[in-house]
Amino acid sequence: MTRACVTLAALFAGALAGCATQQSTRDGVKATPAAVVAQAFPADWCGRWTGTLATLGESKIGPVTMTLEIAPLSEPGRWSWTIIYEGESGRQVRPYELVAVNAAEGRFVIDEKNGIAIPVRVLDGTLYSTFEVMGSRVELRESLRHDRAGAPEIAVEMATIVVEGAVLTGGIADRGIPEVRCWTPRVVQRGSLARQ
């Protein structure tokens, strides 16, 4: 996997927050007002979080320091969602926005403000997202939890899979067994972000 693909996978990390019914729009992304928040999102996630992501698997990239800054914006249903990476490739700042689409269903969008809007879903305090970029599929999972000392942290895990690398199995028509396409991650980036 190229360094560019691994770096792109890291650029989409985030943890999310939300509210309830659809209301305002900007740049074609519908938002919902923060006043109807029925969950701990975004309140429990807001703030500045920093930690180190280890890179596991088929990559020579060393550890990357990740900072996630989340804060409410003046427009209802929107939060600043700034991700900062520091590592071998230098410092990268990604000034994204988090948009609540339907918080009752845990549906949100990370708006990169460049025409890319990544749908995500929050279920039981964990953010899930899957997307493809430049021939790689990225599966993202982030959870707000507590460490052994009881301090809050955001656990981040991103698995990057080469789409063309599928292994085919099954496909035995006369026995009614469907064909199954399987992938294993090439690279996994994992770490915990502590509140600063």
Query: What was the pLDDT predicted at 103?
Result: 82
Q: Select from 93, 97, 84 the least CA-distant residue to 27.
A: 97
**pTM of the shown model:** 0.76
Mark 17-42 as b/e (b = at least 16 C-beta within 10 Å).
Answer: bbbbebbeeeeebebbbbebbebebb
Report all structural domains of the chain as residue ranges with CATH numbers, in order of start. Answer: 3-195 (2.40.128.20)
The number of residues making up the chain comes to: 196
pLDDT digits (tens, 9 = 90+) for 57-70: 988 888 999 999 99
Please identify every stretch of the chain with a pLDDT value under 50, giving residue numbers as ranges.
1-24, 31-39
In this predicted structure, what is the pLDDT of residue 4? 40
One-character DSSP codes across 104-128: GGTEEEEE-SSS-EEEEEEETTEEE
User: Using CA atoms, how far apart are residues 64 and 86, in angstroms rounded to an integer?
Assistant: 6
For residue 13 the two structure tokens come to: 């990390």
- Residue 18 has a pLDDT of 32
